Amino acid sequence: MRNKVVIITGASSGIGKALAFAFGRQGSKIVITGRDGSKLENTKTELTLEGIDTLSIVADVSIELDNKKVVDKTIVHFGKIDVLINNAGITMRALFNDVETDVIKKVMDINFYGMVYATKYALPEIIKTQGSVIGISSIAGYRGLPGRTGYSASKFALQGFLESLRTELLKQNVHVLVACPGFTTSNIRNTALSADGQIQGESPRDEAKMMTSETVADYIYKATVNRKRDLVLTAQGKLTVLLNRFFPAFMDKMVYNILAKEKDSPFK
């Protein structure tokens, strides 16, 4: 991936930040985006200190024209785009019966439409370089998670979109990867939206037992180099996908019981 130009959305922390280091350390030129200018600048400073050629652009993926701005500035600065990593994402945690519909819309605007907008504007350049479009999905894109209806819907939509896009681009040698990390030590649960759209704050899960963002980023880097179509991580994640395919009714009960044990679970 040396001298490849890689755009990573939502790259000021978590998996996005780890991906910037993973690709940058291999010689890629990195474009990082995010809504928080201060955090983004701190990440750029850390990357630059490691000698990684980095461009940071404050942008909100849920705003269509912000995505056009990212692509335009990348072309002006680096002259091309080889890889787009649609990483920006947010989750929610509340029963559908309790949640405000604006919360689900916000999740869809970031997780799904943000990916659509970024891909729409970057794709013509990626077709030129026969590069990669990557979507950071979730096991929730294979198996709907109770208490996370909006999040699961956004990831199912992301995977359906990218599968369709992959088929459309079959003759143009563009690589499309759907990466599903499983539970990862990132800040996504800390910023999860509650039923009324407020930030949840504390993670309900034991983060110490999860795969690190850095390990996830290394797997995604290798999958990009090898132009894999799908990447499902963690033994729990792979088992969930497999069992859900063959024993969906059993998994309804299993997933319910597991998530009901979370701290402050919305299940009564």
Which residue numbers are catalytic? 151
Instruction: Count CB atoms within 10 A of the CB of residue 171.
Output: 6
Strands (E), the chain: 5-8, 29-34, 54-58, 83-86, 132-136, 175-180, 184-185, 211-212, 230-232
24 neighbors 47 (Cβ within 8 angstroms): yes
In the chain, the amino acid numbered 67 is: N
CA gyration radius for the chain? Answer: 18
Residue 255 contacts by C-beta under 8 Å, 6 or more apart in sequence? 143, 145, 146, 240
Residue type at position 75: I
Closest CA to 148 of 111, 89, 96: 96
Contact 106/63 with Cβ under 8 angstroms?
no
Contacts of 75 (CB under 8 A, 6+ apart): 81, 125
Place of tokens 């350390």: 25
Q: Using CA of residue 188, residue 13, residue 235, residue 174, what is the dihedral sign?
A: positive
Residues comprising the chain, all counted:
268
